[in-house]
């Protein structure tokens, strides 16, 4: 059971805030993220990352030992930011296209410090957004919104639930959720669930949703536990998850993922490999940012 606020959600918000303030060109512009992190938290995360450079890369630690800002840039751009930034960009591009096609409901599973409804106030009368997350993380987010003197949009509905343990639509329905065409996002979650848990979650969610409803998510391929990646970043990620008490549990071949989705009535509409992600979101950069070697993105649609 989660007893404290999700560290993952805070670090992800830090990455988006850092990218918004310091990186050019932008992969994903989340100018709201910095409002949900206090100045002290930002400085603490920054300090911890710089102090941890020996874990990530001893050569970089030595090369930039007198340049902490460059160390932070390296850790953020190589290790932390690539997947959160690119998967958010992919997700929102798909979502905005689906909205053009008439979708009026968006469910964010594991919302963390997501800021979508705050960045798209023009959708407040046409799209209902339902954020599902652990009660502790959700309560913290509400407090952060209040501390930032931000107003919660009328179309944003908080649904406290540990959906990784037990998912039920009842709480969603109480917030006004309807059985109509819906887009669901599940970002940064599948690695931490067993394969059966992923299947059950998607199956339970889409059981009563109409044809044309879809899900956007990222997953790790079959090389997750074998590929070290650039500067050992894949290996580091797996190790950090285990140390943090949230070990990574699942990875898939494309055929496995296709079979899982088909078994619950979904077909893959778009699939991006790491090479394709790199070409779409990281091309022509002059910094450290590049696509993670083992992470794929999928948009799957109910038949």
For the beta carbon of residue 254, count every other beta carbon within 10 angstroms.
Answer: 15
Q: How far is CA 236 from CA 45, 59, 68, in A?
A: 17, 15, 20
pLDDT at 1: 36
Three-class secondary structure of residue 121 per DSSP:
helix
* Angle, CA 5 vertex, CA 2 and CA 11 arms, to 5°: 120
Q: What is the DSSP letter of 23?
A: -
Going by C-alpha positions, the residue among 218, 186, 192 that lies closest to residue 204 is 186
Domains, the chain: 7-80 (no CATH), 82-302 (3.40.50.150)
| pLDDT per residue rounded down to tens, the chain (303 residues) | 344 567 888 999 999 999 999 999 999 999 999 999 999 999 999 999 999 999 999 999 999 999 999 999 999 999 999 999 999 999 999 999 999 999 999 999 999 999 999 999 999 999 999 999 999 999 999 999 999 999 999 999 999 999 988 888 899 999 999 999 999 999 999 999 999 999 999 999 999 899 999 999 999 999 999 999 999 999 999 999 999 888 999 999 999 999 999 999 999 999 999 999 999 999 999 999 999 999 999 999 999
Q: How many other C-beta atoms are found inside a 10 Å radius of the C-beta of residue 100?
A: 8
DSSP SS3 for 104: coil
> Could you give the CA distance from residue 86 to residue 23 in angstroms, rounded to a whole number?
14
- pLDDT value, residue 181: 97
Strand 295-302 with 266-272, pairing = antiparallel
Alpha helices by DSSP H, listed for the chain, are: 7-22, 39-51, 53-56, 58-63, 68-74, 82-100, 116-119, 135-147, 170-174, 195-206, 233-243, 254-263, 274-281
CA distance 47 to 66: 14
Report the pLDDT value the prediction gives residue 5, as an integer from 0 to 100. 63
DSSP state of 230: G
Per-residue pLDDT, 4? 55
The phi and psi torsions of 187 (rounded to 5 degrees) equal -105, 135
Cα 261 to Cα 267: distance, rounded to the nearest angstrom: 6
Contacts of 143 (CB under 8 A, 6+ apart): none
Q: Are 82 and 290 in contact (CB under 8 A)?
A: yes
Phi and psi torsions of 82, nearest 5°: -50, -50
Peptide bond between residue 25 and the one before it cis (omega within 30 degrees of 0): yes
Residues 6+ apart with CB under 8 A from 129: 106, 107, 108, 116, 117, 153, 155, 156, 157
Locate 124 and state its tokens. 């407040």
Taking a C-beta distance cutoff of 8 angstroms, is the pair 291, 281 a contact? Answer: yes
- Report pLDDT for 165: 86
- Name the pTM for this structure: 0.96
């Amino acid at each position: 059971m989660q007893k404290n606020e999700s560290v993952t959600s805070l670090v992800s918000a830090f990455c988006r805030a850092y990218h918004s303030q310091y990186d050019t060109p932008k992969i994903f512009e989340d100018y709201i993220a910095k409002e949900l992190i206090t100045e002290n938290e930002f400085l603490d995360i920054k300090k911890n990352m710089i102090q941890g450079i020996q874990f990530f890369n001893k050569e970089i630690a030595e090369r930039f030992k007198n340049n902490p800002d460059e160390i932070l840039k390296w850790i953020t751009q190589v290790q932390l930011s690539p997947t959160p930034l690119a998967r958010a960009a992919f997700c929102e591009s798909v979502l905005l296209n689906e909205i053009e096609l008439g979708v009026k409901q968006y469910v964010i599973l594991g919302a963390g410090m997501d800021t979508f409804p705050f960045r798209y106030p023009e959708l407040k009368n046409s799209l209902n957004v339902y954020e599902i997350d652990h009660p502790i993380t959700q309560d913290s987010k509400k407090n952060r919104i209040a501390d930032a003197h931000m107003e919660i949009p009328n179309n944003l509905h908080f649904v406290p639930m540990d959906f990784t343990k037990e998912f039920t639509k009842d709480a969603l329905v109480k917030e006004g959720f309807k059985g109509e065409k819906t887009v669901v996002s599940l970002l940064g979650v599948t690695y931490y669930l067993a394969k059966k848990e992923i299947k059950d979650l998607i199956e339970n969610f889409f059981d009563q949703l109409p044809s044309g409803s879809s899900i956007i998510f990222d997953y790790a391929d079959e090389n997750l536990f074998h590929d070290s990646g650039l500067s050992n970043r894949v290996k580091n990620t797996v190790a950090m998850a285990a140390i943090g008490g949230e070990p990574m549990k699942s990875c898939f071949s494309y055929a496995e993922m296709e079979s899982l989705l088909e078994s619950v009535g979904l077909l893959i509409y778009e699939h991006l490999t790491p090479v394709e992600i790199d070409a779409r979101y990281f091309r022509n950069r002059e910094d450290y940012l590049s696509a993670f070697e083992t992470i794929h993105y999928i948009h799957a649609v109910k038949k």
